[in-house]
Amino acid sequence: MGFDWPLSPIWLVSLFVLLTIALWIHSRALLKSTLSGLAWKLIVLRSLAAILFLILISRPFITTEEPDPSRMKLLILSDLSGSMDARDDRNSPRRISKIQPFLSVQKQESWINKMREKYGKVDSMGFSDDLKRLNSNSWSETKLGKKTALGDALHASLSLGQEERKTGAAVVFSDGLNNQGRSVLEVAKEYRAKAVPINVVGVGKEMLRGDLRVSFTDRKPVAVAKEELLMSAEVENLFDRSLSTELIFFMGDQILETLPLDLKKGEKRKIMLSPQIPKFAGPKRYRLSLETPEGDSDPSNDSDSLLVLVKPPEQFTVLYLSNQVRPLYSFIKRILGNEERFDLNSLIRLGENVFHAFGEKVRPNYPTDPNFWMDFDAILLDLDALSEMNATVVSSLKDFVQKRGGGLLTFGPLGDGREKLGGLLPAKEVERILAKDNLSLKVYEEPLFTPKDKVQEMRPFIPDRLPGYFVSEQNKGARGVVVSRANGKPVLTVQAYGAGKVAYWGVPDDWRRAISDEKGAEDFRKFWQSLTQWLGEGGEERLKIDESEDVLPRGMDAVLKVEALSADFEPAMDAMVRADIEGPEGFAKTIQLYPQGAVAGQYSGSFRPNLPGAYEVKYSLDFPDGEELKTETYVRVSETGEESKDLSYAERELKMLAKLTGGQFIPIAEMNEAWEPTFAKSVPTLQQRASLAEVWPIFILIFLAAGFEWVIRRQAGLK
């Protein structure tokens, strides 16, 4: 405090003494000349006026010192390493999300904007394994999983722009991990030597962390349709405590089994899963999932998936169905019924209410249950019988082929077959033939036969004077595999349909070949057994996925590849392939896969999974003719760096950092916009002088004192 008195202080003291003496003499006179109460009121008012008068002429002032914004700065360091992307509780926000509101420049009332208003220069930096300027895009860097170099960041920040402005204080938002570069406490000594306090906002929560993992023990189990499939799992508890969990066993989205587990600390246990009996051949996806506890450090191994290729059964269940007795049946029965590979069932209408039923799976009447077909692997169907069965049963044939993966061979005149079966019938139109002589046919090897079948030596034919059918128009995806040698028109056309196979055979009187000669009988046997087996084996896998057991490192692109076959078993060149992806924390994305030039029928695309865990990828393939194929796979994404191995909260180290440098430590939960960091004592300051004589309340007090005295004197009748 000082005075702006222009003369010597002695004169100011002398004036004060004189005023005091004069006021004392005047007070005594008032006490003698008037009432005591009135005199004291006047004395107080005049004393106040005298004091205010002295303040006005002596001009006292108060000097304060504040940080000079033009010569100092506030340094803010925000941790952007991989550990800041972690959650401390399953339902809590990510660590980095807790920092964001305080450092948002868009939010007017945010803490950083208040610091700028008060201190001017604020250096806002972000760090992981290097130091960089913090901007709106920096918040996503935690997903890259980079290491933490807190010591290096503090060291680099200490000399940052020091030639322009002195660092008055540093504020660090971090969980305290430091797995790369300089020691934090060594760098703290540098800050202490320069008297720069480090204020620390601790972001995290102390809790026990570990890992719970599950996997299939046998990655290539032997699986045969209609036979028992045994699978086992291995569960390991890497937590430093015992815990309880639940193991769920899936096939697709269907829950097959749920097993409660109590695991000791560090226990690894092998678990036999319930035996499965896959009914049909084809790919089956099984999956394991664990209910994981809080603190699990690697979500990618909380589940596992396994694609099992189920082989065709040792014995194929076949159904022959017709509404009339055809000579062909007795020959088919002879070659299929006497072969162990086939379990032949037959249903033939003999009269209005009379049926021939052969086999354990059929009854002497037309089926009424739409699921009737599902017990068979292949069906040999006389198209004339369609009109005598109800529409629901007929339409369910589509599910039998498309979803079940069964095989369907139709024969005879089309009639209204195309109307009832639609695209399930590979032939659109047929041409009836009644030749005077046998019409020679040619057999192609693919896809029914193998080189050992020597199809070039087969001599099938359309018998003379018996009706046969050329396929004059077929589905776009159908392929003729037995054709006329004369004009190339097919009599056997085949096609993939969904998960199964369909075929049309235009020689219902092929039995004539079986009795023509010994070679014909052998060809007949080989032909029908190969054709029936091919139908019963289920559809060829038309969506071949690039299946990988490797765990993808977080932050890298996941490449999706699929090879597609069209209905004629050739590489699909005109399909639309998309992948619908679902992952952790509501991740959902649809991407389009495009043809890859180097490989015919191969489509590829990619997406970037930024969070660890399991991502379900559902592929959908749409053909121009409306056919749709679907399959799914899983991509496992893991944290693989040091940041994923240790997600702990180093509160003790952060407190020590603040204490060594003279700063404050505050948990993020207690942080608010009004919080003030501790600044260095030697920061550049500005002196602010406040003159009391220029404070407007003094003039009001003088006016009030004079006014009150005048009122009191008037009331008392004094001059």
Same domain, 448 and 487: yes
Question: How much is the pLDDT for 338?
Answer: 86
Q: Is 677 inside a domain boundary?
A: no
Domain boundary (275, 295, 310) is at: 310
Q: Is 407 inside a domain boundary?
A: yes
For the chain, what is the domain count? 5
Question: What integer is the mean pLDDT of 156-174?
Answer: 79
Question: How much is the pLDDT for 595?
Answer: 87
Instruction: Give the C-alpha separation, 542 to 553, whole Å.
Output: 29
Q: Which helix (H) or strand (E) holds 288?
A: strand 282-290
On the CB side of 621, CA atoms within 13 Å amount to 30
Same domain, 469 and 331: yes
β-bridge pairing 131-133 and 122-127: antiparallel
Give the residue with greater pLDDT, 51 vs 431: 431
Q: Minimal CA–CA distance to 341: which of 316, 378, 310?
A: 316
Same domain, 288 and 376: no
Same domain, 61 and 80: no
Same domain, 233 and 270: yes
Q: What would the pLDDT profile of 237-253 be if each residue is shown by its tens digit?
A: 988 889 999 999 999 88
Q: Is 679 inside a domain boundary?
A: no
Q: Is 99 inside a domain boundary?
A: yes
Same domain, 14 and 79: no
Q: Lowest-pLDDT range, 24-28, 618-622, 665-669?
A: 24-28
Q: Is 673 inside a domain boundary?
A: no
Contacts of residue 259, Cβ cutoff 8 Å, sequence gap at least 6: 246, 247, 248, 249, 271
3-state DSSP call for residue 240? coil
User: How are strands ordered across the β-sheet holding 212-216?
Assistant: 212-216, 232-237, 268-272
Q: What would the pLDDT profile of 524-553 be if each residue is shown by its tens digit?
A: 999 999 999 999 987 667 788 877 777 887
Share of the chain above pLDDT 90, in %: 42
Distances (CA, A) of 227 to 64, 277, 314, 315: 91, 5, 9, 11
Question: How much is the pLDDT for 716?
Answer: 57
Q: Minimal CA–CA distance to 245: which of 233, 254, 253?
A: 233
Question: What integer is the mean pLDDT of 316-338?
Answer: 94
Q: What would the pLDDT profile of 442-469 be if each residue is shown by its tens digit?
A: 999 988 998 888 888 899 999 999 999 9
In this predicted structure, the answer to whether residue 4 has a pLDDT above a threshold of 70 is no
Question: How much is the pLDDT for 684?
Answer: 56
User: Phi and psi of 404, rounded to 5°?
Assistant: -70, -30
Give the residue with greater pLDDT, 626 vs 485: 485
Question: How much is the pLDDT for 141?
Answer: 85
pLDDT band at 614 (very low <50, low <70, confident <90, very high): confident
Q: Lowest-pLDDT range, 47-51, 397-401, 441-445?
A: 47-51
Tokens of 396: 């369910």
CATH (domain of 463): 3.40.50.880
In this predicted structure, the answer to whether residue 370 has a pLDDT above a threshold of 60 is yes
Domain boundary (280, 310, 340) is at: 310
Same domain, 478 and 444: yes
Name the burial class of residue 63, with classes exposed (0-12), middle (13-18) and buried (19+) by CB atoms within 10 angstroms of its CB: exposed
Domain boundary (536, 568, 593) is at: 536
Question: How much is the pLDDT for 252?
Answer: 84
Same domain, 182 and 114: yes
Question: What integer is the mean pLDDT of 504-514?
Answer: 94
Name the H helices within 34-149: 36-58, 95-99, 111-119
pLDDT band at 323 (very low <50, low <70, confident <90, very high): very high
In this predicted structure, the answer to whether residue 7 has a pLDDT above a threshold of 70 is no
pLDDT band at 708 (very low <50, low <70, confident <90, very high): low
Question: What integer is the mean pLDDT of 498-521?
Answer: 92
CATH (domain of 222): 2.60.40.10
Distances (CA, A) of 272 to 217, 292, 305: 10, 20, 16
pLDDT band at 629 (very low <50, low <70, confident <90, very high): confident
Neighbours of 468 (CB within 10 A): 25
Question: How much is the pLDDT for 596?
Answer: 79
In this predicted structure, the answer to whether residue 488 has a pLDDT above a threshold of 90 is yes
The letter for the amino acid at 616 is E
Question: How much is the pLDDT for 129?
Answer: 87
Residue-averaged pLDDT of the chain: 85
3-state DSSP call for residue 97? helix
Question: What integer is the mean pLDDT of 212-227?
Answer: 90
In this predicted structure, the answer to whether residue 713 has a pLDDT above a threshold of 80 is no
Is the whole-model pTM more than 0.95? no
In this structure, are residues 481 and 447 in contact, taking their beta carbons and an 8 Å threshold? yes
> Using H for helix, E for strand and C for coil, what is the string for 527-593?
HHHHHHHHHHCCCCCCEEECCCCCCEECCCCEEEEEEEECCCCCECCCCEEEEEEEEHHHEEEEEEE
On the CB side of 236, CA atoms within 13 Å amount to 12
Instruction: Give the residue numbers spanning the domain of 343.
Output: 316-536
Same domain, 186 and 329: no
3-state DSSP call for residue 306? strand
Q: What would the pLDDT profile of 640-662 be if each residue is shown by its tens digit?
A: 555 666 677 888 999 999 999 99
Q: Is 31 inside a domain boundary?
A: yes
Query: Scanning the structure block, which residue is given the tokens 């069965």?
Result: 389
Question: What integer is the mean pLDDT of 620-644?
Answer: 77
Own/partner contacts of 39-44, CB < 8 Å, gap of 24 or more, are 41/712, 42/709, 42/712, 42/713
Share of the chain above pLDDT 70, in %: 86
Distance, first Cα to last Cα, the chain: 40
Q: Is 339 inside a domain boundary?
A: yes
User: Phi and psi of 65, rounded to 5°?
Assistant: -115, 130
Q: Is 678 inside a domain boundary?
A: no
Query: Scanning the structure block, which residue is given the tokens 């932050």?
Result: 555
Same domain, 250 and 333: no
In this predicted structure, the answer to whether residue 12 has a pLDDT above a threshold of 70 is no
Q: What would the pLDDT profile of 281-307 be if each residue is shown by its tens digit?
A: 878 889 999 988 877 777 778 889 998
CATH (domain of 142): 3.40.50.410
Same domain, 390 and 528: yes
Question: How much is the pLDDT for 157?
Answer: 86
Same domain, 397 and 530: yes
Task: Tell me how many degrees the CA angle 128-133-139 measures, rounded to the nearest 5.
Answer: 60
